[in-house]
Amino acid sequence: MPNPTEAKRIIEAALLASQEPLALPDLKRLFDDQIGTDTLRRLLDELREEWSGRAVELVNVASGWRFQTKPEFQPFVERLNPDKPPRYSRAVMETLAIIAYRQPVTRGDIEDIRGVTVSAQIIQALESRGWIDIVGHRDTPGRPALYATTKTFLDDLGLRSLEELPPLEEIAKTLELPPAPAQPAANEPTSPVAAAGAE
């Protein structure tokens, strides 16, 4: 088994080489599971501290650990890749906000809240981005699909769990949404992402 300094360098190399966040089980495989979860977390915390003064930081998101550019340096990095990420319409962003804060919800729930029909293109845009997914079906006539956000959604926002989303009141001011109810109805399963916390 490598000493702690070597282990940190191995973790650092794996995280820098990876295109996706690495969860604790992935990182444990680097050491043939010879390093325990607590030790691994301590090494990650030490590594995060070592990188704290740099332009890149080690962060823990919903899918695991990754290195990312600090927000203050992002505008400079974006100059190297002038292709802008897709811009989404207000309707798409309102739909995403409703799903994020009210999940799991059906298309009918979204339409009731927004007061307008939700087009298939809006749902497809969010699904193709990997931000929402069907997590079940409501036990009502027609068994409508229940939508919830994904770990990709949280990863793209740099969050570990839905609890880290800003309060709905702040979003509602922008999108003019009514406040969310305290709990989903008893017949609605909770989102697997809602329960996802840090590894």
Residues 141-158 pLDDT 10s: 999 999 999 999 998 888
Confidence of residue 191 (pLDDT cuts 50, 70, 90): very low
- Region of 4 (left: φ > 0; alpha: ψ -120 to 50; beta: rest) is alpha
Inform me whether the pLDDT recorded for 176 exceeds 70. no
Radius of gyration of the chain (CA): 20
DSSP for 136-178 reads EE-SSTT-PEEEEE-HHHHHHHT-SSGGGSPPHHHHHHHH-PP
- Count of residues for the chain? 199
| pLDDT at residue 78, as a whole number | 83
Count CB neighbours of 37 within 10 A. Answer: 13
**pTM exceeding 0.85:** no
Residue whose token pair is 């919800």: 105
pLDDT one-digit tens code per residue, 129-142: 999 999 999 999 99
Confidence of residue 18 (pLDDT cuts 50, 70, 90): very high
Inform me whether the pLDDT recorded for 51 exceeds 80. yes
